[in-house]
């Protein structure tokens, strides 16, 4: 039970961290900020792909 609890705690903290990083990515003002945030995201989740922005009409 202790092992499962620690596993769940890791998942929750990873999810919270990803949420914060995605917010920072959306607010990034230049490419260097953007690259730094993307590196951190890929360190946590290597297979994460940024969703494509919707086409402007």
pLDDT tens string 9-24: 999 999 999 999 999 9
**What residue ranges do the domains of the chain occupy?**
2-44
pLDDT tens string 18-55: 999 999 999 999 999 999 999 999 999 999 998 887 77
CA 9 to chain centre: 17
CB 18 within 8 Å of CB 44: yes
d(CA 4, CA 18): 21
Return the pLDDT at 52.
83
pTM: 0.80
Q: Kindly tell me if the per-residue pLDDT of 1 is higher than 90.
A: no
């Amino acid at each position: 039970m202790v092992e499962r609890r620690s596993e769940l705690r890791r998942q929750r903290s990873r999810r919270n961290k990803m949420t914060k990083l995605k917010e920072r990515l959306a607010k990034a003002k230049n490419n260097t900020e953007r690259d730094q945030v993307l590196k951190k995201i890929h360190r946590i989740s290597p297979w994460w792909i940024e969703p494509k922005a919707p086409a402007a009409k």
